[in-house]
């Protein structure tokens, strides 16, 4: 048992719930659908805009219902497939508190350097700019919490993308589709991060050895019993 | 004069065994975990995991609880206070050994010439 194996065990156990990426993907699906419902689907065919808009809204509504339907089932899937861990309440509470402190500090820092005008911080336009900043900083923060592993660096990349999106010009966001596009990008980022988290968890939680593999390991202790 | 490597012989054998160390490492990173999770994270068979958990329970390092969840028995394991102390003491000892080994020079060994 190498030190890196023990590190993998510790990291996966400590962050078992955070790594259940299909839950994040469901949240991402809701954001994606909310964004799709707001974006004008047919800028070139203005006469068809009404009908297509209704269709998009219906599809988006169905997507949200699907995500809400899947969310509790995903939780059950993880429990059934990989078991259950009761995480240390002290560490998860501390982790969340640290995140919110970091998020507030980031927003204040952004306001200080002029990225977000303080006076308009609570207007709808600024809130829409805050969203990618909050989601982006959450992704970057989680990457730090999860041990800055190169395997999880997609969190850093997606987080940086969202923080970068928050710093785009307000004129671009003030367009008719600005809010919808932001929500689509947030949704896609959450879905991508979620799916990659899920793959990491699946790789980390390798299937238990079969009795045949255990017997082979007993006869040849140097052999790896897992492929 | 003792070498740092002689300290290896004094390590807690119950904790030092790789499979049990993996179980204790997992349990030290959470409040409690169920049997299925421990099986997946360590890659052990049911029989092997049961046997190691029984040894750890007998030594008072792990507490095993059986609950009924959805009409099925669920076995959960958590570290006892003694288990947490033993695991922490083990890692402290390993760290001390590592540092000792890095500093150690065999008696009578000539100092290494400086390179470059």
Side-chain half-sphere exposure of A158, counting CA atoms within 13 A? 24
Reported as a single tens digit per residue, the pLDDT across B73-96 is 889 999 999 999 988 888 888 888
Are A205 and B21 within 8 A, CB to CB? no
What is the residue-wise DSSP string for A40-57? -S-SS-GGGHHHHHHHHH
Question: How many CB pairs lie under 8 A apart between chains A and B?
Answer: 92
Residues of B in contact with A85 (CB under 8 A): 30, 32-34, 37
Q: Minimal Cα distance from B77: which residue of A?
A: A85
Work out the pLDDT band at A227, boundaries 50, 70, 90.
very low
A139 contacts A145 by C-beta, under 8 angstroms: no
| Other beta carbons within 10 Å of A165 | 21
For residue A195, report the phi and psi dihedrals to the nearest 5 degrees.
-65, -40
What's the gap in Å between the CA of B92 and the closest CA on chain A?
A: 15
Q: Could you list the beta-strand ranges (E) of chain A.
A: 85-86
B55, pLDDT greater than 80: yes
For residue B66, report the phi and psi dihedrals to the nearest 5 degrees.
-115, 130
Are A85 and B34 within 8 A, CB to CB? yes
What's the gap in Å between the CA of A202 and the closest CA on chain B?
A: 10
- The model carries a pTM of 0.75
A184, pLDDT greater than 60: yes
Instruction: Copy the structure tokens of residue A209.
Output: 């050895």
What percent of chain B is modeled with pLDDT above 90?
Answer: 42
> Is B75 an interface residue toward A (CB < 8 Å)?
no
What's the gap in Å between the CA of B14 and the closest CA on chain A?
A: 15
Which residues on chain A place their C-beta less than 8 Å from a C-beta of chain B? 1, 5-6, 9-14, 16, 82-89, 204-211, 213-214, 225-226
Are B36 and A12 within 8 A, CB to CB? no
The sign of the torsion formed by the CA atoms of B27, B32, B35, B38 equals negative
Reported as a single tens digit per residue, the pLDDT across A191-214 is 999 999 999 999 988 765 555 655
């Amino acid at each position: 048992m190498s030190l890196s194996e023990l590190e993998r065990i510790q990291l996966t156990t400590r962050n078992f719930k955070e790594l259940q990426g299909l839950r994040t993907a469901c949240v991402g699906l809701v954001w994606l659908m909310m964004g799709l419902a707001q974006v004008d689907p047919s800028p070139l065919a203005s006469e068809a805009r009404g009908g297509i808009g209704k269709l998009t809204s219906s599809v988006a509504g169905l997507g949200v219902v699907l995500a809400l339907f899947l969310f509790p089932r995903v939780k059950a899937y993880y429990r059934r497939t990989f078991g259950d861990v009761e995480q240390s309440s002290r560490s998860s509470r501390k982790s969340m508190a640290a995140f919110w402190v970091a998020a507030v500090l980031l927003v204040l820092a952004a306001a200080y350097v002029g990225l977000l005008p303080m006076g308009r911080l609570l207007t709808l336009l600024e809130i829409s700019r805050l969203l990618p900043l909050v989601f982006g900083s959450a992704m970057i923060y989680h990457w730090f919490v999860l041990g800055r592993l190169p395997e999880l660096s997609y969190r850093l990349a997606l987080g940086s993308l969202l923080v970068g999106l928050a710093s785009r010009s307000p004129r671009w966001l003030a367009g008719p589709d600005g809010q919808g596009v932001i929500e689509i990008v947030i949704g896609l980022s959450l879905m991508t991060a979620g799916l990659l988290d899920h793959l990491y968890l699946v790789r980390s939680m390798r299937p238990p050895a079969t009795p045949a593999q255990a017997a082979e390991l007993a006869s040849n202790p140097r052999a790896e019993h897992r492929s | 004069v003792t070498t740092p490597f002689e300290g290896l012989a004094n390590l807690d054998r119950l904790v030092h065994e790789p499979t049990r160390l993996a179980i204790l490492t997992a349990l030290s990173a959470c409040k409690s975990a169920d049997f299925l999770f421990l099986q997946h994270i360590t890659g052990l068979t049911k029989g092997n995991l049961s046997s190691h958990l029984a040894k750890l329970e007998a030594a008072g390092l792990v507490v095993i609880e059986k609950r009924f969840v959805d009409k099925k028995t669920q076995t959960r394991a958590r570290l006892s206070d003694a288990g947490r102390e033993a695991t922490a003491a083990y890692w402290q000892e390993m760290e001390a050994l590592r540092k000792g080994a890095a500093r150690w020079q065999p008696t009578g060994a000539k100092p290494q010439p400086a390179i470059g």
